[in-house]
Chain A
Amino acid sequence: MAMLGAAFTKGGGAAAPEPGAARGPADSCYRVAGLTKTYRTGRRTARTTVHANVDIDLDIRRGEIFGLLGPNGAGKSTLVRQLTGLLRPDAGSVDLLGYDVVRRPDVAPRLVAYLGQEAGALDELTVALAIETTARLRALSPEAARAARSAVVAELGLTDLAERPLKRLSGGQRRLACVATALVGDRPVLVLDEPTTGMDPVARRAVWAAIDRRRAEHGTTVLLVTHNVIEAETVLDRVAVLDEGRVIACDTPGGLKAAVGDEVRLELVWRGEPPLDDPAVARLARDAVRIGRRWTTRMDPATARELLAAVTSGPAFAVLDDFTLSTPSLEDAYLALGGRHEGLVKG
């Protein structure tokens, strides 16, 4: 794991520390303790209370790419909106590089570049102007803003799209332009809420190369919200798994997968009605999570091989469309940890 945060030293500035500053350990970026946020939804009789975040503790180190993984509605976005000063928590503390974000939400924009899920404020601007405006609003001078805009446009391969309004772009292209607005102005912390949604592989690679470069050169910390398990496994140093507003695990992707033990995942896709009188099929039918014609199970490798051999050599093979036997993914880890929702995305 990259620990570039070690390069930071204490006491680099001239002025006196602000209240609440410099309390955390030198290698902490975000220290979150007991964070709780509750919403009320509905009207009068139908009013219900939603516990969006419950007693969340996190310690995100400087220079790491830290992920928040969970299905839609797990409370990821609510959590990052509190970490960026957009939302005031009901209880708990958020320490960002020594600053108390709950008490002084105005410091967050001066340390963090936030990429939300919405681009509504920029929709009618051209890509170039959206990036340049964002740079100006991060206090860059007009010349510096233009230079930063040109650099990030070239870096992310946006040159051909630079003069087109965001709302005329495809979803992935628009998202790429929004990532460019987050990268401009070199903040030490990037909070990116599902940054690569809808992007093609070329754009994804450009984004991760740009983020890696910032991490290598400036020790930038990245907090990534995702429900994409493949991306999470590939890019994250550590990941916190959220389910129903709680952190149910926090470890490296490898560490989380180890929680599943040495089980493997067996997936079968049927093209017709599988013969349930076949003992192997009946056993799979009992254990599998069935979504449409796809059956997914986890089991020890020997059993998996045995069942797969039985299925592929018996009558069931005639209605079997496809099968895969794979090592566990973060999704398996999520389910093994007690995640109660489907909804993570692969690929």
Chain B
Amino acid sequence: MTQALDTPRTDAAAPTAPDAPGGGVPLAPATPLWAGLAAVYRAQLSRTRVSRVPLLFVAVFQSVGIMILMRGVVDTGSDSAREAVVAGSSVLVVAFVALNLLAQHFGALRAANALDYYMTLPVRPAAVVLGMAAAYASFTLPGTVATAVIGALMFQLPLANLWALLLVVPLSGAALAGVGAVCGLLAPRQELATLLGQLGMSAALLLGIIPVDRMPWIIELGRDLLPSSYGVDAFIATYGTPDWTAFAANLAVCAGVGVAMLTVATWAFRRSARN
């Protein structure tokens, strides 16, 4: 079914609509993309006060725990091994929240018919999906930074290029939130949405923190298919002598996957809300 994307857009501040009347009643204005996105983002961010803070602690503890575990396993004399563990653990926070929790959230909204709320407001599905994805990606920033700092101290890595996380988190966040949203919106049942989110996070965990040079080729292929790997590689590129070309290239992949997955998620949102 066709839906709102082709409807005329008007200024958010307009009190009444200039649209064509139907028997004397004009249509109220549709909400512009950015206004809708901002409203959804703000509302989602406010939820941190209620339930997200404990989950962020879980995300950080999980990542720090994995780093402690890996310290006893990997060769701490190898730069690439240490970098892979810290970068993988940091991006794992993004995967936990943006992929796993967003998949669960969309699954729960669908199961409760709660998407009706958005579908009966004149807001574009893209604004809802992007607003939620952006909020979930934002939740991850403090946890990712905390993990990266703790990891750098544990594994004697430099802290100088930590600013790179300001790009790595939003872009890998967009890609992973996109995957999470698609899982949550397309899974036929809520339990499957949860399962897919968990599987995605487990994959990000296993494939993200193991150094690439130790992987069999087939596992490496799996790693290449996982969007979080490009976030990990972008972050690894900032260690030692930074390779900014690799940094930019990896982030470009994240951005591309983000655009593609969020587009699919927008389509899935419209589809799931109307059946």
B-contacting residues of A (Cβ < 8 Å)? 8-18, 21-22, 24, 26, 28, 81, 84-88, 96-99, 105-114, 116-122, 124-126, 129-130, 133-134, 136-141, 144, 165, 167, 185, 187-188
Whether a CB of chain A sits under 8 angstroms from the CB of B170 is no
Report chain B residues within 8 Å CB of A121. 109, 114-115, 117-118
What is the CB-to-nearest-CB distance from A255 to chain B, in angstroms, rounded to a whole number?
Answer: 27
CA distance A258 to B22 in the complex (A): 36
CA distance A120 to B119 in the complex (A): 13
From B24-32, B76-84, B86-94, the one touching the partner chain is B24-32
Q: Which residue from A28, A86, A133 sits with its C-beta under 8 Å from B39?
A: A133
What is the CB-to-nearest-CB distance from B32 to chain A, in angstroms, rounded to a whole number?
Answer: 7
What is the CB-to-nearest-CB distance from B26 to chain A, in angstroms, rounded to a whole number?
Answer: 5
From B9-17, B149-157, B249-257, the one touching the partner chain is B9-17
A8 nearest CB neighbor, chain B only: B24
B110 nearest CB neighbor, chain A only: A120
B50 nearest CB neighbor, chain A only: A124
- Tell me if B's interface is mostly helix, strand, loop or mixed: loop
Q: Is B43 a contact partner of A18 (Cβ separation < 8 A)?
A: no
Q: Is B13 a contact partner of A106 (Cβ separation < 8 A)?
A: no
What is the CB-to-nearest-CB distance from B20 to chain A, in angstroms, rounded to a whole number?
Answer: 4
Q: How many residues on chain B are close to A (CB under 8 Å)?
A: 52
Q: Is B121 a contact partner of A138 (Cβ separation < 8 A)?
A: yes
What is the CB-to-nearest-CB distance from B186 to chain A, in angstroms, rounded to a whole number?
Answer: 19
Q: Is A118 a contact partner of B21 (Cβ separation < 8 A)?
A: no
What is the CB-to-nearest-CB distance from B77 to chain A, in angstroms, rounded to a whole number?
Answer: 47
CA distance A140 to B121 in the complex (A): 12
CA distance A117 to B113 in the complex (A): 9
B:31-59 near A, CB below 8 Å: 31-32, 35-36, 38-40, 42-43, 46-47, 50-51
CA distance A119 to B46 in the complex (A): 17
What is the CB-to-nearest-CB distance from A244 to chain B, in angstroms, rounded to a whole number?
Answer: 22
Report chain A residues within 8 Å CB of B185. none
Q: Which residue from A12, A139, A144 sits with its C-beta under 8 Å from B21?
A: A12
CA distance A81 to B39 in the complex (A): 25
Q: Is B22 a contact partner of A110 (Cβ separation < 8 A)?
A: no
CA distance A18 to B19 in the complex (A): 9
Whether a CB of chain A sits under 8 angstroms from the CB of B191 is no
Report chain A residues within 8 Å CB of B115. 121
What are some 20 contacts across the A-B interface (CB < 8 A)? A26-B24, A85-B120, A86-B120, A96-B22, A97-B22, A98-B23, A98-B25, A105-B274, A109-B4, A110-B17, A110-B27, A110-B29, A111-B25, A116-B117, A117-B113, A118-B113, A121-B118, A138-B28, A138-B121, A139-B28
B:115-161 near A, CB below 8 Å: 115-123
What is the CB-to-nearest-CB distance from B122 to chain A, in angstroms, rounded to a whole number?
Answer: 4
Q: Is A22 a contact partner of B22 (Cβ separation < 8 A)?
A: yes
Report chain A residues within 8 Å CB of B17. 110
Q: Is A139 a contact partner of B32 (Cβ separation < 8 A)?
A: yes
Whether a CB of chain A sits under 8 angstroms from the CB of B7 is yes
A106 nearest CB neighbor, chain B only: B4
CA distance A21 to B20 in the complex (A): 9
Known: A22-B22, A106-B3. A129 touches B116 (CB 8 A): no
Whether a CB of chain A sits under 8 angstroms from the CB of B73 is no
Q: Which residue from A21, A86, A110, A139 sits with its C-beta under 8 Å from B14?
A: A139
Known: A107-B27, A116-B120, A129-B46. A18 touches B20 (CB 8 A): yes
CA distance A18 to B17 in the complex (A): 14
Report chain B residues within 8 Å CB of A22. 21-23
Whether a CB of chain A sits under 8 angstroms from the CB of B201 is no
Whether a CB of chain A sits under 8 angstroms from the CB of B203 is no
CA distance A15 to B32 in the complex (A): 20
B25 nearest CB neighbor, chain A only: A97
Whether a CB of chain A sits under 8 angstroms from the CB of B218 is no
Q: Is A86 a contact partner of B119 (Cβ separation < 8 A)?
A: yes
Which 3 residue pairs across A and B have the least CB separation, nearest first?
A: A98-B22, A120-B114, A13-B21
A98 nearest CB neighbor, chain B only: B22
Whether a CB of chain A sits under 8 angstroms from the CB of B18 is yes
Q: Is A15 a contact partner of B19 (Cβ separation < 8 A)?
A: yes
